[in-house]
Amino acid sequence: MNLKPNKAVFLDRDGVINEGVIRGGKPYPPQTVAEFKLLPGVSEAVMALKKAGYKIIVTTNQPDVSQGKQKMEVIEAMHGLLKKWLPLDAIKVCFHVDSDNCECRKPKAGMIFEASKEFNIDLKKSFMIGDRWRDVEAGQTAGCTCFFLEYDYKEKKPAQPYIKVQSLLEAGQKIISGTF
């Protein structure tokens, strides 16, 4: 039996789905569940993408856990809220730091490849939406079309090609309408 491959939208978490915390021009994840808030338009965008037939998969680096700066229970509580608020198919998390040289930490595409196998996803018909160069590079490596939320962080910018957008809602509208 040959099942038709799925298409997916891969989403970074902090700065794409929920509000990030900006310090010194660089983004950081919220530290408490109380600080964990969806960005405007996220629920609408995810619902529309899901209705359009996309698998919705979060791929997030969360190295603060392995560095002892964040408790696993807090991350699990945040992800519990995401699953309650949004129709997500999966949340893939990398807890490593760069020096661990794992395959899952973005900018590597391990989380995307893992989800692709798990959900029979055609990566060429899929999208990555992120707010950092790491997200875009992971999506590019996997063969996805990438959207970049430009917040002018004080860090390197992603390499082209990508489509610049102001929000997940804008990216979702472009994906659904095919105007990218």
Among 14, 98, 100, 152, the active-site one is 14
- Contact 111/137 with Cβ under 8 angstroms? no
- Give the three-class secondary structure for 121: strand
| Count of CB atoms situated within 10 Å of the CB of 74 | 18
Q: How far is CA 164 from CA 4, 145, 157, 178, in A?
A: 30, 12, 11, 15
CA 155 to chain centre: 18
Q: Which tokens is 132 given?
A: 């950092």
* Active-site residue, from 12, 89, 98, 152: 12
Query: 70 near 64, Cβ under 8 Å?
Result: yes
Catalytic residue status for 12: yes
Does the annotation count 135 as an active-site position? no
Q: How remote is the C-alpha of 28 from its chain's centroid?
A: 14
3-state secondary structure of 80: helix
Which residues are known catalytic residues?
12, 14
